[in-house]
Amino acid sequence: MQMTQELAAKHYAEHTERPFYPGLVKFMTASPLVAIALRGPGAITVARKLMGATFGTEADAGTIRGDFGCSKSYNLIHGSDSPESAERELSLFFPEGVCDWSPISADWLWDNE
């Protein structure tokens, strides 16, 4: 998808007064992005570990940011930091909702305890 100015304004509303806001919006609306919704036990924790620390120069090798990011201004990847943030962000990026399904291998991927 391509992030519009309107979507960027909603997504980054809490940063509008910060000095980096104009550059962030310009960066985020400059090219297509891939929006995905992940679900499962510990999905937020697991995804954030895969992403690595916010700034690529501080992220561990083997993480997405650690291997591919080096800017403190233009973040390579974003992930929700809480269930509340996820709910808000999913409604922005998937206004019609997300497909509700369970993979056939779910019982072998994680235990339901």
**Which residues are part of the catalytic machinery?**
78
What are the structure tokens assigned to 67, written together?
């291997």
Q: What is the largest CA-CA distance in the chain?
A: 47
- 37: amino acid identity, one letter: A
What one-character DSSP code corresponds to residue 72? S
Using the structure block, give the residue that is written with the tokens 């937020």. Answer: 44
What one-character DSSP code corresponds to residue 98? -
Among the listed residues 87, 59, 64, 63, the one whose alpha carbon sits nearest the alpha carbon of residue 77 = 64
